[in-house]
Structure 1
Amino acid sequence: MRRQAWVGGALAWALLCSGPALAAETKMPPGLTGDWGGARGLLFELGVALQVRYATELAYNARGGKGHALRQAGQLDVGLGVDLEKLAGLKGGTFQFTFTHRNGNDLGADMELGNLQLVQEVYGRGNVGRLTQLWYEQLFWDDRVHLKLGRVTVGEDTAEFPCDFQNLSFCSAQPGNLVGNYWFNWPVSQWGTRLRVDVAKVAYVQLAAYEMNPRNLDPSFYLGRFSGATGVMLPLEVAWNPKFLQGTLEGLYKLGAWYDTSNASDVLLDDVEHRGRYGAYFVARQQLTHVPNAANKAQGLNIFVRLTHTDRDTSTVDSQYTAGLAYTGLFGRADDDVGFALGRTHSNGRYVTSQRLKQLQDPTTLVPGTEYLGELFYSLRATPWLVLRPNFQFINPGANEDARNVIVLGLKGALSL
């Protein structure tokens, strides 16, 4: 089992810039501003990693919505990762602080595309600065037990998945795409803790607990909310990390379920309230081919499959299925990728019924359905610190059953400073 990277900024890099590689970052990520005359490298050797990065996503609706428009959304990350074993001799101890600031506009909302899932995954949760990470992790028992606590995002540990694609359907922890009203992915943090136990170096089991507090969505910078909690979310995840063909083909398979103790309203019956919300998910990533003696171990063909179901009493969207493939090393460029994915997001039939009933009283009420989409991208690693990823999205929208099909031309980029 791979050891979790101590540099939290490497996680952010993986979420927005990485190819399909499964291995954790083990060296200082390169940056536009270089080594600062040796100071940055010296700090890294001492156990201190300074992380500054900007990600941007451009989207143009060539078809669909109320017209044509170009919109941009972006995110600035500023982080500090500390390896306390290197810095202070505390074996197995790491600390991470990350500040994020999001900006820009949502093409889907501005042009009324009728989509369930964002066409710019980096947009959302307000154009505001947030404390996204402030956590400490300690390893025990020959690094087989991982204990983490502090301000965390759910998706960095639970149902974790990289954001190679620009459409939200194929990005980050999938449950957050369905029940984002209480499962908060990056950049929204909450008080939480996670205990993970590695088993025989090829598997792990983990249990986490996250504070459920709607105030965490408040659009402001704060260290933490100390009132307003409605309950606790408890995800359980088991994973298998096999390496086939003499260790050259790495895979990662996760099965998980969660339960939130908060009360929630029924999506159909206005006067009914339920005690608890729940769901389950499956994630599979597998490298299928390998290029011998390649500098990039991920070079070759990779596939993924993700499935998530939520409870039909409280969730407006009850399932999402996605699958895709990517090839690393195209055209002789070891770090370039091409990827293609298909997805389906299904609105809960009980919620659809409630919207049809409301439409009888208010004809402007939108009735949702099932969203189908595909995305194709090419990822050009122009320099070690700059990634450019043009993409093409075709969407049969699901937030409005009367919306016409959408074509979005996008460009995703990430600059590491």
Structure 2
Amino acid sequence: MRKQAWVGGMLAWALLGSGTGLAAETKMPPGLTGGWGGARGLLFEMGVALQVRYATELAFNARGGKGHALRQAGQLDVGLGVDLEKLAGVKGGTFQFTFTHRNGNNLGADMELGNLQLVQEVYGRGNVGRLTQLWYEQRFWDGRVHWKLGRVTMGEDTADFPCDFQNLSFCGAQPGNLVGNYWFNWPVSQWGTRLRLDVAKGGYVQLAAYEVNPRNLDPSFYLGRFSGATGVMLPLEVGWNPKFLGGTLEGLYKLGAWYDTSNASDVLLDGEVRSGRYGAYFVARQQVTHAPNAPNQAQRLNVFVRLTHTDRNTSNVDSQYTAGLEYTGVFGRADDDVGFALGRTHSNGRYVTSQRLKRLQDPTTRVPGTEYLGELFYSLRATPWLVLRPNLQLIRPGANEDARNVIVLGLKGALSL
């Protein structure tokens, strides 16, 4: 299932970062600019993968907010992945560099939709260039032990999830969607290391350590912060990658928990400081159909479920549940997909109480609640290097209990150069 994140959905890396990186690709990625006179293929055979991609997300609020508007948000990725075993004979070694630059506007903020989760997941963390990945990974013990070190994003290895949908609720590592004030997903990197052990029958266990440093959110380019850390994030994850019915139905199941050693303010009690922040998550992806005699061998149905809970002392949002399905091979087109998902994001009751108390003093204070949403998309692989993904989002906003229901028409696209 980890490889399917690239094969079944190219947008995963292009839009948010699936965590595989260019060095992990098994074939030369397609591109608008072609093979560069054979140089691109030659470099790839040598173990060097070069890629430039641009992702864009258009969103129009047909209903909700203070009026109608169309907004665009985008991201440019420049990546270099190196298979050091091919290039230099370093068995099991890979290197990854990724630079990203985000641009555009946030429809939710501009039109005051009152949403908890972005309707354009690619927006966020500032319109600025960032060093998103700069890490080295080494495999030992016949490839069963994986050790990674460098500038990494938390969600590329921990609770990682593809980014096929446009609403943030269904995209990337779910904990970062809830506690983004200290769990930094793509494109924000931090110093970190991850040790993973593959065990029998498709299982694995991994432990990671990430620097928690608010300065990593500064809207400026930097190679790495060396001061300002408030603590260390320590996530533990166990997973299982089973293959049922003779290996034809693949799944991936993850259960994890994290602890951040940083101190944080209590969301209800003024002046109260809590020692440590924590949470837990579950991710399940399962292929449920296989069509061995169909003309389109890629035809399949995949389903997913994700659940995350955070601690109620320090988190404004304390849980998120999502579930959905994606069908590949629509209308006989091997690379076209259709997807549908439902989600619920719940504001912490203690935080809601604090906002209601503030509203007694300031009537303009917004009181949050629970956000419900659904998204439907059709993904058209127009060419090997261009994906277009129109989508429809129906949202009951959760950041403002007085907000109207929202309908968003979107278009997500990725172009590989």
TM-score class, shorter: over 0.9
Cα 1:284/1:148, change in 2 over 3 Å:
same
Give unmatched runs, 5+ long, in structure 1.
19-23
Distance 2:157 2:298 in 1: 22
Post-superposition offset of 1:14: 6.6
**CA offsets 1:56-88 (integer angstroms, 9 cap, x no match):** 000000000000000000000001000000000
Post-superposition offset of 1:39: 0.4
Counterpart of 1:263 in structure 2 is: 263
Counterpart of 2:21 in structure 1 is: none
Deviating above 2 A after TM superposition, structure 1's stretches of 4 or more consecutive aligned residues are: 1-6, 10-18, 293-299
Counterpart of 1:21 in structure 2 is: none
Counterpart of 1:170 in structure 2 is: 170
Does the 8 Å contact 2:373/2:393 carry over to 1? yes
Counterpart of 1:39 in structure 2 is: 39
Distance 2:17 2:238 in 1: 26
1:96 maps to a residue whose letter is Q
Counterpart of 2:203 in structure 1 is: 203
Post-superposition offset of 1:201: 4.8
Aligned length: 411
Distance 1:293 1:172 in 2: 34
Does the 8 Å contact 1:85/1:93 carry over to 2? yes
Cα 1:277/1:296, change in 2 over 3 Å:
farther
- 1:138-157 counterparts in 2 under 5 A? 138-157=138-157
Does the 8 Å contact 2:394/2:407 carry over to 1? yes
Does the 8 Å contact 1:17/1:414 carry over to 2? no
Post-superposition offset of 1:13: 2.9
Aligned partner of residue 194 in structure 2, secondary structure: strand
Counterpart of 2:113 in structure 1 is: 113
Post-superposition offset of 1:99: 0.2
- 1:164-243 counterparts in 2 under 5 A? 164-243=164-243
Aligned partner of residue 415 in structure 2, secondary structure: strand
Post-superposition offset of 1:375: 0.3
- 1:265-284 counterparts in 2 under 5 A? 265-284=265-284
Distance 1:236 1:121 in 2: 26
Post-superposition offset of 1:5: 10
Distance 1:329 1:185 in 2: 30
- 1:18-417 counterparts in 2 under 5 A? 25-292=25-292, 298-417=298-417
Cα 1:186/1:223, change in 2 over 3 Å:
same
**CA offsets 1:153-176 (integer angstroms, 9 cap, x no match):** 000000000010000000000000
Post-superposition offset of 1:11: 8.9
Distance 1:55 1:277 in 2: 33
Does the 8 Å contact 2:16/2:172 carry over to 1? no
Post-superposition offset of 1:51: 1.2
Aligned partner of residue 120 in structure 2, secondary structure: coil
Post-superposition offset of 1:297: 5.8
Cα 1:172/1:294, change in 2 over 3 Å:
farther
Distance 1:241 1:294 in 2: 25
Deviates more, 1:282-291 or 1:298-307: 298-307
Does the 8 Å contact 2:11/2:163 carry over to 1? no
TM-score in terms of structure 1 length: 0.95
Aligned partner of residue 267 in structure 1, secondary structure: coil
Post-superposition offset of 1:271: 1.0
Cα 1:347/1:298, change in 2 over 3 Å:
farther
Post-superposition offset of 1:25: 3.9
2:167 maps to a residue whose letter is N
**CA offsets 1:257-311 (integer angstroms, 9 cap, x no match):** 0000000000001110011000000000000001216687652111000000000
Distance 2:302 2:283 in 1: 14
Does the 8 Å contact 1:14/1:162 carry over to 2? no
Distance 2:249 2:204 in 1: 19
Cα 1:309/1:17, change in 2 over 3 Å:
closer
Post-superposition offset of 1:200: 1.4
Cα 1:285/1:191, change in 2 over 3 Å:
same
Post-superposition offset of 1:191: 0.1
Give % identity.
90
Alpha carbon RMSD of aligned pairs, Å? 2.0
Distance 1:329 1:5 in 2: 16
Distance 1:34 1:226 in 2: 40
Distance 2:13 2:41 in 1: 18
